[in-house]
Structure 1
């Protein structure tokens, strides 16, 4: 019985979507920014996202926001990301501040998330030079 259980569990884990194994997007933000993974970040974008990247500010569709973030990562290759501050006292709202180190400098990343249908979606993303 045990010989069958471990391989079966391995197969289930392999085919299970990554989002179910890693928790919600809030827990994964530092790893996604460190990897410069615009595609995975965009999966958690709301249908429209307010982006403010290096003083370029506008509201974009999910696809446009992904492309703009990908362009940022291509120009500023991430090296490290860490959590600076988290606000999670409201069950429908979260706010995270990350420190993003890239090969071209250090940035402060602010991420606003709102809950819709029991899932948090990124509604606002700001990337600005770190002033510290």
Structure 2
């Protein structure tokens, strides 16, 4: 069975998470510089079967688009051009970065390790993907 991949796209870095082949468990894959995300995905898709890509949709507390929305919309457009056959689903990413940081605290990472923003982005993508899998199972 093909995997599901989640993308937490940001101004500088993009966190990427992926499921196992049975689409049960979400795991962090990597964090890449945002300007190299499409190239990374081309390489990844050439090696792994992916059925669907989740792309975080940033919203403010009131549900309105966030300040990063135009940047992410451009990425989505570029993604569709690069991968026209790939199924995309947009998912609300509110609180994923805060949840990722709290996860790092709860897992006992030291302060210096928690300052690793790339790790926060990767964990945020993993949370986004795991929440999707949980909703899918209900």
TM-score by length of 2: 0.27
Which structure has the greater CA radius of gyration? 1
Q: Which has the higher strand share?
A: 1
Question: By percentage of residues, which structure has more helix?
Answer: 2
Higher relative contact order (CA 8 A, sep 6+): 2
